[in-house]
Amino acid sequence: MFNRQRTLEKFGYDLDLSVRRRTQAEFEATNGINKKDLIVIDNCPSCGVEREIQLRASKKNALCPKCFHNLPSTILAKQNQTKVKSEEHKQRMKDNHWSKNGYESAFKGKHHTEEVKEFIKNAANNQWINETEEEKLNRHIKISCTKRGIPVEDFDGFSSPENTRIRQSPEGRLWTYDVLAKSNFTCDKCQARGGSLVAHHLNGFNSFPDQRLLPENGICLCEDCHEEFHEKYGRGDNTVKQYEEFKTV
């Protein structure tokens, strides 16, 4: 249950849940916001830490993220997620798979239309395009804390290197898709279409930070050609001239 006194001190509105209908004073103090959507001061029922939470959520007496992840049931669930399956178990799963019983996937052989592909691309792009640098940093911090199972207040720096964070961010994944789509998902060196493809930076990722997410600075290569290029020219400090020489050989 929320802390009525602290809510009054911080937000200036006094909520009396014993009264079913809202009073005129409550209505005016909260600018007509739906009572259930109001932000109130609440205390975790386990550790007592103070937090700001929606009134509808506070009535459920939900635990804070730190206490939730320390619950024996949560710890056990995490342990079971990584439990190694026996060969017998794996074989049983294969034998009971829906494909063994005469069923077919509803999506087998189907592809998105060009209109749908364009819609998905624009939706992913517009989701992050208006974010400021501060908002991007806060989003990355929140994602990092969620993966590590800690509250945002306990964030002590990123555990992943900058290279990995940029490549796996929504902007980095969108760049990869743009590069592969530009080449029609075909290797620019051996012309193999589909399979394991890689978006290769023409001007090196580490040496040209301002060109990291430019689609024109990327080219589509298959894994074999990509590995062959880096075996010949090394990793880091690569340039467009090196790729042009590699392509003509």
How many Cα atoms within 13 Å fall on the side-chain side of residue 186? 6
What residue spans of the chain are helical by DSSP H? 4-11, 24-29, 55-58, 65-69, 72-81, 87-95, 114-129, 133-148, 162-168, 170-182, 223-233, 240-248
Backbone angles phi, psi at 207, to 5 degrees: -90, -20
Side chain identity, residue 143: I
For the chain, give every domain's residue range: 4-68, 124-159, 175-249
Return the structure tokens found at 13. 């509105």
**Cβ neighbour number for residue 164 with a 10 Å cutoff:** 12
**Cβ neighbour number for residue 228 with a 10 Å cutoff:** 16
The Cα–Cα gap between 227 and 26 comes to: 66
Write out the chain's pLDDT in tens, 249 residues.
678 788 888 877 777 655 444 555 665 666 666 666 678 888 888 888 888 888 777 777 778 878 877 888 877 777 666 667 788 988 988 888 887 877 777 777 888 889 998 888 887 777 777 778 888 888 888 888 887 888 888 888 876 677 787 888 888 888 888 899 888 889 998 888 888 889 999 998 888 888 888 889 999 999 999 999 988 888 878 899 999 999 887
Side chain identity, residue 207: S
CA 95 to chain centre: 34
The reported pLDDT for the residue numbered 200 is 92
User: Environment class of residue 197 by beta-carbon count within 10 Å: exposed (0-12), middle (13-18) or buried (19+)?
Assistant: buried
Give me the residues paired with residue 222 across strands.
197
Return the structure tokens found at 247. 């392509």
The reported pLDDT for the residue numbered 20 is 46
**Cβ neighbour number for residue 75 with a 10 Å cutoff:** 12
